[in-house]
Amino acid sequence: MTEPPVLSLRDLRFGYDAAGPNALRGLSLDIPAGATTVVLGANGAGKTTLLHVILGLLSPQGGEVWIAGRRQTDRTRRESSRLVAMVPQNEHIPFDLSVLEYVLMGRSPHIAILDMPSQADYEIAVESIEAMGLQHLSHRAVPELSGGERQLATMARALAQRAPILLLDEPAAHLDLGNTMRLLGLIDVLAKQGNTVVFTSHDPSAAASVAHTIVLMRDGQVLATGPTESVFTSEHLTLTYGVPVRVATVEGLQVVLPGRIP
């Protein structure tokens, strides 16, 4: 018996400007539970908007979002935060919080209002910091971190939330090669532990290395979706990005190479 999708999006429509084109145009998509789904597309395809609508930061102007069998609008923000966590491309942190204090914010959905974090909350925060290799920076103020270190701290904060669904918007955008490999390894581990990971990426080759499912977006719509081996093709990626793209296999891994430009 096939397991129902953990995220089900039905005819989503959203526009930032009533006079302009919609960022999402009748988008429908099912995302499987306990797997890694990568959303690929050119700039302006609607990838970030899609994640923000799933999280509830943006309200769709049409359509519905179903999470774990219930409409998103039927849950409180606190209930939703226990199910879904997000790592944005950039997050403004207005206070000089230490890395530990910042990561502890991920425990907020599990702490009663006016209560202090418990010892268990601190332990989860420390584990999350260690998972991202930031233990030596636990007491450093987040604004003092490099862009890559700050991105890893944001990832640690999301991990501390212990939500079974994790949305990552360009999570490796500020990371060097070593930390990108650390992140991809962690994503693979999270999926094997039964978590659902959905992330956008500007690096199709790296994304394909951990993806179970790929979603290709163009102009606010799903162009193609399915298992990596069937969707990650030269033809599909050429249509997605609007430029010649060639997919080759190198030592068992699929990589994207630029095609011949006429």
**Residue 186 belongs to some domain of the structure:** yes
Domain for residue 1, yes or no? no
Give the residue numbers spanning the domain of 70. 7-258
Query: Across the strands, what pairs with 38?
Result: 199, 214
- Kindly report, residue by residue over 190-238, the tens digit of the pLDDT: 999 999 999 999 888 888 889 999 999 999 999 999 999 999 999 999 9
The verdict on residue 165 lying in a domain is: yes
**42 lies in some domain:** yes
Q: Per residue in 92-123, pLDDT tens?
A: 776 789 999 999 999 999 998 888 999 999 99
CA–CA dist 193, 244 (Å, integer): 37
pLDDT in tens, 151-179: 999 999 999 999 999 999 999 888 899 98
Within-domain flag for 2: no
Q: Is residue 182 part of a domain?
A: yes
CA 164 to chain centre: 12
Closest listed residue to residue 125, CA positions, set 92, 90, 98, 89: 98
Number of domains comprising the chain:
1
Residue at 133 is within a domain = yes
In 116-229, beta strands by DSSP E:
165-169, 196-200, 213-218, 221-227
- The CATH number of whichever domain residue 136 belongs to comes to 3.40.50.300
Q: Please write the tens of the pLDDT for every residue from 128-154.
A: 999 999 999 999 999 999 988 999 999
Residue 113 lies inside a defined structural domain of this protein: yes
pLDDT of residue 259: 67
